[in-house]
Amino acid sequence: MPDKIPIWLAVLGAVAVVGAGGGIYFIRPINPAHEYGIAIPSPPIPNAFDRYRAAFKGFRLEPVAQVLDYEADQEKKEDPRKYPLSGKQAWLERQRVGLSLFEEGLKLPSAYPAIRSIPEETEAPSHEELRELAKCIEVRNQVWSQTGQHEEAAQGALDIWQMGLQIANGAPLIPATNGQAIEIYARRSLNGEIAYLTGPQAAKAARRLEKLLNSRVTYREVLLEERNTMPFLIPRIHDKGIYDRKQEAKNAEAAARGESTFFYDTSPPPRNTGLTDNLAVRLITRKYLGSMDKAITESETPWPSRTIPVGSSGEIIPINEKLVNMVAKGRFLFERSDALSRIFLARLALHAYRKDKNRYPASLQELVPPYLSKVPEDPFSNKQPLLYRLDGKRYKLWSVGPDSRDDAATPAQRVNPRSPSAKYVFGPDSTGDVVANISR
């Protein structure tokens, strides 16, 4: 009979087999959908998002396409919004394809194409294209305004607003904030029209805007999409760095202008972990998901009660902190956009009330109904309404701002702004209030 295998050797062999099996298990190819239980959604067909992209390309096909990129080089390119009226009208006549596709998009449901369903080699949707489309629609609105069609111009501004809200549907964080950038163009376009609206026209605009704002995706929904997107991108990030190296030059330019660059980080993650790539990616992903789950839960906490979600990533994978800290800063952008939008909503309703009754109301509650279904809430408060008081024949309307303290309508100001117009552009650490007709 053969000699018995020593117990210690049998145990060692078993450990080796189990270890090898476990090692193979942890370095196996990654399938995020299966491994993390993440569904891949199907967008609506037809999709408004696709119509908007096609609309921009309809504008770009025109021989005057170069005027749209006016911000890139002011000396060589023109801004169509600064054309004389006849020039704007002639320009718009050549944009029928783009305008028609844009109008189609307004009638359709919209969903951002899930990044996790796009092959790596496929070109992702361009954020800049949609912002440029909003500027094109602004030209149309200006023509209406300059020809006395102020209701059409106001509704045209709400068209831009609708597009900004629509493209955030189903989008992760950065594409969703692109929708907020488009809302800035909508507010700019609407701001000059409010004073010219009749009572019924302002009431109609207020009802539409209230409906649009009530359909806005929540920050929780955006974070959930971000959470479900990153497991598909982290393997690419691990290989290439968090974002394309081309962003490095843009960061430098933005820093020179004194602008924030926190949404972009071009530094690659550490590769000297002593682990295989797939195992390292799994460690990063699981810690990221844990951090995001906490951030998603906290996103439902009112702004004054929030804490800053920081990823507890550990020393070998600081990539987690970069991604999760971006989420903390993103919440401010959402609350900021919502505060400015709710103030605009109240302004429309107040204008309608004054046109109808030849005075402003004593309180915002008098707007409910027929102008609003409820008094707009202040997102920087603990679900309290916006603040309001009569000031002679005028009024003061404000949000408590990111410090969540009522400063009696004293607007938050920036220290050493880049320009006088940037004086009242408030940030996450600003003290003071967000005041109608002043804050930006």
Confidence of residue 414 (pLDDT cuts 50, 70, 90): confident
The pLDDT value recorded for residue 35 is: 84
Domain annotation covers residue 39 = yes
Residues in the chain: 440
Mean pLDDT in residue range 374-399: 94
Higher pLDDT, 264 or 334: 334
**Within a domain: residue 405?**
no
pLDDT for the residue 71: 39
Average pLDDT over residues 306-321: 50
Q: What pLDDT does residue 342 have? A: 97
As a whole number, the mean pLDDT across the chain is 79
pLDDT of residue 13: 55
**Structural domain harbouring 90:** 1-117+126-358
pLDDT band for position 79 (50/70/90)?
low
**What are the counts of helices (DSSP H) followed by strands (DSSP E) for the chain?**
13, 3
For residue 239, being part of any structural domain is answered with yes
Rounded average pLDDT over 297-309: 82
- Whether 47 is covered by a domain: the verdict is yes
Residue type, 104: E
* Residue 390 in domain: no
Whether 437 is covered by a domain: the verdict is no
Look at the chain and report how many structural domains it folds into.
Answer: 1
CB 350 within 8 A of CB 193: no
DSSP 377: B
- 440 within domain boundaries: no
Greatest mean pLDDT among 27-31, 75-79, 132-136, 260-264 lies in 132-136
Residue 416 CB contacts under 8 Å (≥ 6 apart), including other chains:
none
H or E stretch covering 411: none
What is the H or E stretch that residue 357 is in?
helix 319-357
Instruction: For residue 304, tell me if it sits in a domain.
Output: yes
Phi-psi region of 432 (alpha: psi -120 to 50; beta: other; left: phi over 0): left
